[in-house]
């Protein structure tokens, strides 16, 4: 079982064939022997070798707004859209050691527009967002990001960073150890990763396209992350984040995957999602 599971619905062979025809197989976040996971187009791409990667170049960009409000209303009040989110000055990389989980009284509003003041940075071949208030505020010596604000927006940024970094074969083991909450699911994922380390793959990688906060409580957040593979193909997967008292961490299902039996959605559009992507 990999981190991204298609579930057992009796149509496994047919579903696998569909994704194979589109080249969505052998992704980098594979924690089993030979796995076909329906959302692995997120992780297709990268070059060979497992050497440590050089420090990536930040990609500052002002993000646009969403297509519409989420259809599944999460708990918590909505945020008020800004007048012109694209007119903000070019953001800078967050100051290390400040913001994120160190932010005092972060906003508890559910993000319904693209967050502003965001820098997009490459993790291997995938762009992920950073923000002074939401985080991440800390980076360990191996490059693993942590320290996200105790807020709905902080949970969103934590989910993006988790998905971007766990697919990097240089970081997978450390991300599982430090950025995933303890439990049976993590134990299984760790064992499978030891048996079959995350491979590096060839091809065009998918990129984040948007998000939707499905549900939020102070100790748990469910965030659906949309990823675009090409102009015609966008999918979304729910990721559960839990607050451990100091930071947001991912929660794996008992089978070692993020989604368990929940099928990823193949999206016709980003309607109901907040459009959010790098350059």
Residue 5 is predicted with a pLDDT of 60
Q: H or E segment at 189?
A: helix 184-195
| C-beta of residue 138 within 8 angstroms of C-beta of residue 178 | no
β-partners of residue 224 are: 212, 238
| C-beta of residue 251 within 8 angstroms of C-beta of residue 185 | yes
What's the angle, vertex CA 185, arms to CA 181 and CA 191, rounded to 5?
105
Residue with the bigger pLDDT between 151 and 70: it is 151
The lowest-confidence range among 8-12, 116-120, 203-207 is 8-12
Average pLDDT over residues 173-186: 97
| Most confident range, picked from 45-59, 90-104, 126-140 | 126-140
Q: What is the pLDDT of residues 24-82, one digit of tens each?
A: 322 333 333 222 343 443 443 333 333 344 444 455 554 444 444 444 455 455 544 44
Closest CA to 131 of 82, 172, 163, 94: 94
Q: Is the pLDDT assigned to residue 162 strictly greater than 90?
A: yes
Burial of 35 (0-12, 13-18, 19+ CB in 10 A): buried
Residue 22 is predicted with a pLDDT of 30
End-to-end CA gap in the chain: 33
Please tell me the pTM assigned to this model: 0.74
Q: What is the pLDDT of residues 14-31, one digit of tens each?
A: 333 222 323 332 233 333
Burial of 4 (0-12, 13-18, 19+ CB in 10 A): buried
């Amino acid at each position: 079982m990999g981190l991204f599971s298609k579930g057992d619905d009796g149509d496994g062979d047919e579903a696998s064939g569909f994704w194979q025809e589109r080249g969505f197989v052998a992704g980098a976040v594979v924690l089993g022997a030979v796995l076909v996971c329906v959302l692995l187009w997120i992780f297709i791409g990268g070059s060979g070798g497992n050497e440590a990667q050089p420090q990536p170049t930040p990609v500052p960009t002002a993000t646009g707004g969403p297509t519409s409000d989420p259809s599944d209303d999460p708990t918590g009040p909505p945020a008020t859209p800004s007048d012109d989110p694209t007119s903000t000055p070019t953001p800078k990389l967050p100051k290390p050691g400040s913001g994120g989980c160190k932010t005092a009284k972060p906003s508890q509003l559910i993000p319904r527009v693209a967050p502003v003041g965001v820098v997009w940075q490459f993790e291997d071949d995938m762009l992920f967002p950073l923000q002074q208030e939401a985080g991440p505020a800390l980076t360990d010596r191996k490059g693993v990001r942590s320290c996200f604000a105790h807020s709905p927006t902080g949970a969103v940024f934590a989910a993006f960073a988790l998905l971007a970094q766990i697919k990097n074969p240089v970081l997978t083991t450390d991300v599982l150890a430090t950025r995933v909450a303890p439990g049976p699911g993590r134990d299984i994922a760790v064992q499978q990763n030891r048996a079959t380390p995350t491979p590096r793959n060839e091809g065009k990688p998918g990129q984040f396209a948007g998000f939707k906060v499905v549900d939020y409580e102070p100790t748990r957040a469910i965030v659906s992350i949309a990823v675009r593979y090409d102009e015609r193909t966008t999918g979304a997967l729910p990721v559960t984040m839990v607050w451990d008292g100091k930071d947001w961490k991912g929660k794996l299902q008992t089978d070692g995957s993020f989604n368990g039996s929940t099928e990823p959605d193949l999206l016709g559009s980003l309607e109901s999602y907040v459009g959010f992507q790098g350059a």
